[in-house]
Amino acid sequence: MRTKLHVSAILLSLTMLLPGTSAVFAQTQYDLLLRHGHVVDSKNHVSAVRDVAIRDGKIAAIEENIDPSKALKTVDVKGLYVTPGLIDIHVHAYASTGEKNSYAGDNSVWPDDFTLRTGVTTVADAGSSGARNFEDFKEHIIDRSKTRVLAFLNIVGAGMRGPKYENNLSDMDPAVAAEVAKRHPGLIVGIKTAHYAGPEWTPVENAVKAGTMANIPVMVDFGTNWPQRPISVLLTQKLRPGDIYTHCYSGLRNELLPDGKVNPGMWEGRKRGVIFDVGHGGGSFTWRVAVPAIQQGFLPDSISTDLHIGSMNTGMKDMLNVMSKFLALGLSPDEVIARSTWNPAREIHHEELGNLSVGSPADVSVLRLAEGHFGFTDMYGARMDGNRKFVCEMTVKGGKILYDLNGISRPDWKTLPKDYTNVGDPRWDGLNPAHKKH
Ligand SMILES: [Zn+2]
């Protein structure tokens, strides 16, 4: 009797010390533990079976063996890849305006519809908004999404609203773009120029000026190909080291020469530090360019989707499908994962992301490498066969499980009390936390 009272008193005092936390949970060191997965963390040169422990939304430990009794929740991810949350630096996610035929409108998608279910925890919108509509984009999309949405600001003040706007040389003020970018450091991660149909260098030059003023990179969609502005000059003279050439396997701007060789300007640009990004899209990736380029050793620095309504159901589909295309092209899973995590994180100057260092935000993707007969199509509808494909099993963002394809983090219903309700805990569960009952 005395002992019981004593224990109760301790429990009571612990509960009082930690309001909202029960005494039993107070003994655990970690909120979430992913056990026995194959961790690929390119920044830290880890590609091995490791346990990953998370606490308070941060990576707390990565070790060969972490005692599950130290964790509130343990998920067995044996046989699966555990990677930093995927980062897709080329999407169009400004879907909220209602404008027809516009990437600042109907051509964009809502980010949460496509991201977490494919292991993507961070996206960068590639220039859908410009200096005059960025605040609207931020208010309606960025601030309301579970996905971390960052942005390249279009050098065009009106944003990506169609040729009438995007070819208007008088609406590409570098000082105005830089000013808006500087107002949102870390959120606006670069300047975008895209779709320009004329032969002038003005859009590229003004984008680089804005990028220099705001100290951020420029991403280039090089628009219509003109002999007056060849890609070799762009890559060897106009862009700075760290600037990003997207759509690098489109073949639309002499990326591959008629003799089947990668344009020497691409190699020269890479030597100078220009970054090459996939930006698959609806019309920017073809096997007849990608295959010879990869065979010649011209690999992408980053893999990205160019997600929009014109790419989501065609050859692109989603981030994992584009990543799987590079498996079919002969890259290893580790090479593909590096180009979808740590490389893009560095390109957008967010080095806290894309890695699993202790203390980093606990954005984690759990991927299955499925084997079977798969087909992957390009912008022209040509197919390449492959036998491996990434599938997203689980996505964790900020330490919370936000997607779980097969319920691997969930108890079998038959093991629960007859009248069970929500079984999660808000410290690890972003799907059905116990405190949220409907
Ligand atoms: Zn795009």
Distance CA 220, CA 253 (A): 12
What does the chain come to in residues?
A: 438
The pLDDT score that the predictor gives to residue 26 is: 52
CA of 396 to the centre of ligand 1 (A): 26
Cα dihedral: 160, 164, 169, 174 (round 10): -20
Residue 25 burial (CB count, 10 A): 14
What's the gap in Å between 182 CA and the centre of ligand 1? 23
Residue 92 C-alpha to ligand 1 middle, in angstroms? 6
137: CA distance to ligand 1 center in Å?
Answer: 16
Q: Which helix (H) or strand (E) holds 218?
A: strand 218-220
Bridge partners of 166, per DSSP, are none
Residues 6 or more apart whose CB falls under 8 angstroms from that of 410 comprise: 404, 423
> How far does residue 432's CA lie from ligand 1's centre (Å)?
35
CA of 307 relative to ligand 1 center, distance in Å: 7
User: Would you call 309 exposed, middle or buried from its count of C-beta atoms within 10 A (0-12, 13-18, 19+)?
Assistant: middle
pLDDT string in tens for the chain (438-residue length): 344 444 444 444 444 444 444 445 456 899 999 999 999 999 999 999 999 999 999 999 999 999 999 999 999 999 999 999 999 999 999 999 999 999 999 999 999 999 999 999 999 999 999 999 999 999 999 999 999 999 999 999 999 999 999 999 999 999 999 999 999 999 999 999 999 999 999 999 999 999 999 999 999 999 999 999 999 999 999 999 999 999 999 999 999 999 999 999 999 999 999 999 999 999 999 999 999 999 999 999 999 999 999 999 999 999 999 999 999 999 999 999 999 999 999 999 999 999 999 999 999 999 999 999 999 999 999 999 999 999 999 999 999 999 999 999 999 999 999 999 998 999 999 998 765 544
Q: Which domains does the chain have, with CATH numbers?
A: 86-354 (3.20.20.140)
Axis-axis angle for helices 202-214, 174-183 (nearest 10): 40
Measured in angstroms, how far is the CA atom of residue 83 from the centroid of ligand 1?
A: 25
Rounded to the nearest angstrom, the distance between the alpha carbon of 142 and the centre of ligand 1 is 17
Q: What are the CA-CA distances from residue 17 to residues 21, 29, 30, 427 (Å)?
A: 9, 17, 19, 18
- Please check whether residue 302 is in contact with residue 275, taking contact to mean a CB–CB distance below 8 angstroms: yes
Q: How many CA atoms lie within 13 A of 144 on its CB side?
A: 14
CA atoms within 13 A on the CB side of 418: 0
d(CA 396, CA 382): 35
In three-state secondary structure terms, 333 is helix
Unique residue bearing structure tokens 């500087």? 182
| pLDDT recorded at residue 432 | 85
H-helix or E-strand spanning residue 268: helix 264-272
Report yes or no: 219 and 243 within 8 Å, Cβ to Cβ. yes
Confidence (pLDDT) at 19: 46
Q: Please give the distance, rounded to the nearest whole angstrom, from the Cα atom of residue 279 to the centre of ligand 1.
A: 7
Query: Given this model, what pLDDT does residue 201 score?
Result: 98
